[in-house]
Amino acid sequence: MAGVLGKERADYTEGSIIGSILKMGLPSMFGFLTQNIYNLVDMWWVSRLPDGEDAVAAVTFFGVILMLLFSFNQLVGPGSVAVISRRYGEEDDALVEKAIKETIILKLFFGFVFGVAGFFLSRQLLTLVGAREIALEQGIEYAQVMFLALAFPYAMYSIFTALRGVANPKMAMTLMLASNILNMVLDPVFIFGYLGVPAMGIRGAAVASVTSFVLTLLVGLVILYGGFANVRLHLKGRASIDVRSMLTLLKIGLPAWLGSLSFSGSRLLITPMIATFGTAVVAAFGVGAQVMSFSITIVVGIGIGLSSLIGHNVGAKKLDRARQTGNQAIALALGVMLLFGAIVLIFARQLVGLFFESPETIEYGVTLLRIFALAFPAVGVYIMIEEIHMGVGLNTPIMVFSMILAWPLRVLPIFLVTTFLTTGPGAVWWIMSLSVVVTAIMVFIYYRRGRWLTVKV
């Protein structure tokens, strides 16, 4: 079937399974890799400011809050992935267009509401997660800019989802690459004041991010409305936007949101517990988390492409191929994360040394990375199975596993360790790693039952 502008409609439900996984997943992987490269570069520029450790800690504290707020993004995101990709597999372009428009509208609404609330509650939220003194004041400067513009990254990520959902993963990748490169270029300009721009310090890092969010969203809308993707949007589509279908998107995403909210809420509680060990540990945790995120982004990127591919296969009623696709993707994730875990184990000291000069802070970061690296294979399996279920709109089981991981396996033992035992932060890192391993085993056992192949959307 021909797509817009006379192009042949892309179909990844035929041919080599591993080839289809890579064609859908690799562009997403490269896009998200640049996102994590940007996060590391951003953290590096911020660490060059006076009171660098406090500045890095401020961004780390805000990251915990942002994770919580982005959990609300999950109210819409999982539903949009399932509906857009499955309708594309069914070749119903009118309903694909309708789902994309409704997703963007919902994202702008939620982003605006939570952004305004976050702006006025910045000090209270940062204090809640453990920010104090210089880190608190710098965190407020950074957070208020990011909160005011929260609707833009919410909607921007929906553009990426839409392009992957209509089998245009390379377009999504190109847009993500351009966005992150722009962000990296603008960082030193706004932070330190180049090209006639006044130096803004940590606030400049936020301004750079917001600028790239807005421009990326505008370009993405031009791509979709200009007919450059496999499905074209129109000001007036054949299927009208309505509240009922928006509620369907929210219904599908509700379990994923609850699971994400639970996980983010648990980190909201864990961060102040980590902060009891001092600012140096928080700074090391922030950098260590970014390095870890960079490593697992390969699996996250492939998984996000996989979720759309699974939706295409199930929508086209190719259930056996969907199962084989899931199995091969999990094996791929396991192999990739074994490799990256080994790299992080070997080069942990060099990675942390890029950000800090303090021997104490470096030691904290090295210990953290080496312990986290042991759990990388389990993280890969968990993420891939989560994306498979998201692709078909079955999010309740993952919500349950996420809650198990967050509370009885993490928050409770970390609380006990930090409250009643005189131990260092290493015990916290071990709890965080082992909890993922245990949860990944449970998730894999559930995945093998195959219920995800029979879900209706």
Determine the structural domain holding residue 367 and report its residue range: 15-454
Considering only CA atoms, which of 346, 378, 367 is closest in space to residue 426?
367
Per-residue pLDDT at 9? 64
Give the integer Cα–Cα distance in Å for 384 and 392.
13
Kindly state the tokens that stand for 342. Answer: 């080994």
- Give the per-residue pLDDT at 2: 44
Instruction: Say how many Å lie between the first and final Cα of the chain, rounded.
Output: 23
Is residue 9 one of the residues assigned to a domain?
no
Question: Rounded to whole angstroms, how far apart are CA atoms 165 and 456?
Answer: 17
Predicted confidence at residue 7, as pLDDT, reads: 53
pTM of the model: 0.75
- Residue 199 inside a domain? The answer is yes
pLDDT in tens, the chain (457 residues): 444 444 566 678 888 899 999 888 888 888 777 777 777 788 788 888 887 778 888 888 888 788 777 777 778 878 888 889 889 888 899 999 999 999 999 999 999 999 999 899 999 988 887 778 888 888 899 999 999 999 999 999 899 989 988 989 899 989 988 998 998 899 899 999 888 888 888 889 899 999 999 999 999 999 999 999 999 999 888 888 989 999 988 888 889 888 877 887 788 789 889 988 988 888 888 778 777 777 777 888 788 888 889 988 988 889 999 999 999 999 999 999 999 999 999 999 998 888 788 898 899 999 999 999 999 999 999 999 999 998 888 989 999 999 999 999 999 999 999 998 888 899 999 999 999 999 999 999 999 999 999 888 7
**Beta partners for 2?**
8
Cβ atoms of residues 391 and 310 within 8 Å: yes
Asked whether the beta carbons of 352 and 363 are under 8 A apart, the reply is no
Tokens 């396996």 belong to 409
3-class DSSP assignment, residue 214: helix
Angle between helices 93-120 and 151-165 (to 10 degrees): 160
Q: Whats the size of the chain, residue-wise?
A: 457
Do the domain assignments include residue 4? no
Q: What is d(CA 276, CA 156) in angstroms, rounded to the nearest whole number?
A: 36
Is 49 contained in some domain?
A: yes
Answer whether 80's CB lies under 8 Å from 158's CB.
yes
pLDDT attached to residue 67: 76
Residue 70 in domain? yes
- Confirm whether 140 is domain-assigned: yes
How many domains, in total, are found in the chain? 1
Residue matched to tokens 């570069």: 41
Can you tell me the distance from the alpha carbon of 88 to that of 81, in angstroms, rounded to the nearest whole number? 11
User: Has residue 366 been placed in a domain?
Assistant: yes
